[in-house]
Amino acid sequence: MPLSVPTGRVPRMHRQIAGKLTGPVTKWIVAVAVLFIAFALAPLNAKLADVQNNEASSWLPESAESTKVLEELSSSNTQDPNDIPTLVVYQRDGGLTDADFAEMDEHATEIGADVDGVTDSNDDGTPDVLSPNVAEQAGLPQKLVSDDGEVAYLYLVLNFGEDGWNAIPDAAEDIRSLAKIDGATVHLAGYGGQAADAAESFEGIDTNLIFATLGVVIIILLFTYRSPILWLLPIICAVVANLIATGVVYLLAKHADLTVNGQSQAILSILVIGAGTDYALLLVARYREELRRHDDRHEAMAFALHRAAPAILASAATVCVGMLCLVFADLNSTAGLGPVIAVGIAATFLVMVTLLPALLVICGRWVFWPKRPTFGTPEPTSSGLWAKVGNAIKPRPRAVWVVTTGLLLVACVGLIRLDTGGLSTEETYTKEFDSIKGQKLLEDHGLQDASNTIQVVADTDQIDAVSQALAGVEGLGAPGTAVPLSDGRSYFEATIAADISSQKAFDIVEASRDAVHDVDGASALVGGGAAFYLDTKIAANRDNLVIIPLVLLVVFIILLLLLRAVLAPVILIATVVLSFGAALGISALLFEFVFGFAGADPGFPLFAFVFLVALGIDYNIFLMTRVREETAAHGTRKGSLIALSSTGGVITSAGLVLAATFLVLGSLPLVFLAELGVAVALGVLLDTMIVRSVLVTAINLDIGGKIWWPSNLDRGENVVAEEPEAEPDTSAKVPAGV
């Protein structure tokens, strides 16, 4: 069989640049430089958790009503925004005894004396932990014991300044070690208990999650390459990219006020490893092709890097720019995620087009053992599985894409079962944490969570009228005594008889806002914990309407510039949106009928959309850039078949890697991340197995050269003659092979 030759012309200047990056000398310089940067930033990786901000209040925009309330309370020194109301819940079947209540008093004293962070609410210099006996003796209105006498709780407030998220786990452990009664169960609940459990859910995120992800990727790479050695190079580069990305993100969070939370850190590492492996698969596949065409491995890498880098760059740019669209979100947590992921993808791209090519050339052909690509051997993809798929589509492409589109539209019907109304505290996690058990005990025994209140701020001369306006709000406790603030404003609190993040609590907050807003001249505002969650939901719904169209527009522009056509980008965008709808439709059915989830977070559709569109379009970019390259020599229809056979295997492997890495998110006990992982994994598999390989290829074969409209890239039967390519400018000729 005659030796195949590269198709399309490669400008000499571009080949010179690629050749210089991987020359006999420069390959060592590049490798050492990148590794030096990674090792310099490596110590910052472990510190990233220290700059996380997981407080709900820090996620909201300044325009949110609950944020305005917090600002007024903070500016008047009435309430510290870093206060963490905490409950220690006790329960004994048959009723708590007098001895139990006496021990609770002792616990209150010990916790106040021995646990760091307990605040002094009475300004008497003594940490204040309210026990049932103390509350009764003082005649306080707070009800700390249930009517059946089986449940009671201590009330305290923790404050660690801005370091609350990082300090709460140690305080929670200290409280649990002190609050023990034989024969009774004890739970840590309220804000403090929830914060401690949330911290536990992200525990080990910088180690366990990464190791799990790497383990999955290694298995897939071993299966893909069938080499005991080659898999190591992409893994090394992915780890290096993650070290650089997390180090840069830490510096931005520390010195540039970038918002980073546990959620964004989890997604960052997953995406860096997944996307990095995808880029590596694409480059290695092209390098292996060129090794069959060039005797000199440096020359082969120069051609491979030049041809693969534009597609990788377009992919990385799509993800980066798509993620940066998130900065226009109202939610600070969502807005902060954009730059975090953009930094991660940028670092990944740079590592994969510098360190990986250098390591591949340094190692030589032996790294592909036992199937070394030797010079002059035929390319096996020309007769592989995806070549057969293309030939099967070729006779009736229109029927194929019409039927495929119909099936995907049917899958979209599942969207009617997707409930994005939000999740209660209990529904937020995939397992029952300690704070949830405590909360359920309070609800089951008729006790209100004293840490869950609305905070009402209004003009002092109308504060009584505002308080009276809340009398008819069902589920709201009696308003407390008004406390004067500065500038003629006052505030009071009222307890909410519902879980802080439940729809019932949201209804109470909305009813309260409607009531106080109707008081003329009061300028009343309603905030508090449940109001924060409600405002988060409102902001998330707004972000869905604004960010999704913006991402589509940005991705379309990138495709327009990359493919230099109008029709092709429109078709690709349409196919990815269709894939997104099908993935969410199927996912909604899985969430409800298989996993038993109660619903989804309001921000879930936006996150799923951004990741699926930005990542799903990657595979179409990989395919269509190759189609465009082959079209110049073979025409669109034949070029599409060549592109499918050449890229099918590597894109499928890349999709499996990314799907598997996102599924690892399910190892964290958070419903949001589990749902996101499932939806993105399913969408990626649809993109790689059906949309890219079947739907897009069938459309290409049906439309032919018109897909490049308005350009005249494909001039019918006129095929551009192939020209021999000049050698890249390498610094010296080296022996072929090892």
What's the pLDDT at 19? 57
For the chain, the first-to-last Cα distance in angstroms comes to 25
Is the Cβ–Cβ distance between 530 and 475 less than 8 Å? no
Q: What is the pLDDT of residue 345?
A: 93
Average pLDDT estimate for 201-229: 80
Residues 359-400 pLDDT 10s: 999 988 888 888 888 877 776 656 678 888 888 999 999 999
Average of per-residue pLDDT across 115-136: 74
Separation between Cα atoms, residue 126 and residue 137, nearest integer Å: 18
User: What is the per-residue pLDDT for 633?
Assistant: 81
d(CA 63, CA 61): 5
Q: What is the pLDDT of residue 205?
A: 64
Q: What is the mean pLDDT of residues 22-34?
A: 86
Overall average pLDDT of the 50-73 stretch = 75
Q: What are phi and psi of 618, to 5 degrees?
A: -55, -45
pLDDT of residue 159: 85
Which percentage of the chain shows pLDDT scores above 70?
89
- Mean pLDDT (whole number) for 25-29: 87
Tell me what pLDDT residue 591 has: 92
Report the pLDDT averaged over residues 257-271: 79
Q: Residue 639: helix, strand or coil by DSSP? A: helix
Q: What does the pLDDT read at residue 379?
A: 63
Tell whether the model's pLDDT for residue 13 goes beyond 90.
Answer: no
- Residue 491's beta-bridge partner residues? 457, 483
Q: Residue 736: is its pLDDT beyond 80? A: no
Q: Which of 197-211, 679-693, 697-711 has the lowest mean pLDDT?
A: 197-211
For position 625, what pLDDT does the model report?
A: 85
Q: What is the pLDDT of residue 518?
A: 93
Q: How confident is the model at residue 561 (pLDDT cuts 50, 70, 90)?
A: confident
Note whether 206 and 49 are within 8 A (CB): yes
Q: Which domains does the chain have, with CATH numbers?
A: 12-54+203-423+535-708 (1.20.1640.10), 65-201 (3.30.310)
DSSP 466-526: HHHHTTT-TTBPPP---EE-STTEEEEEEEBSS-TTSHHHHHHHHHHHHHHHTSTT---EE
The DSSP bridge pattern shows strands 525-528 and 453-459 to be antiparallel
Q: Taking 50 as the threshold, does the pLDDT of residue 480 lie above it?
A: yes
Residue 181 has pLDDT above 80, yes or no: yes
Q: Which of 88-92, 179-183, 430-434 has the lowest mean pLDDT?
A: 430-434
What pLDDT, on the 0 to 100 scale, is given for residue 120? 72
Q: Are 345 and 320 in contact (CB under 8 A)?
A: yes
How would residue 59 be classed by pLDDT, with cut points 50, 70 and 90?
low
Nearest 10 degrees: Cα torsion 283, 611, 410, 417: 150
pLDDT tens figures, 496-535: 988 888 889 999 999 999 999 999 999 999 998 889 889 9
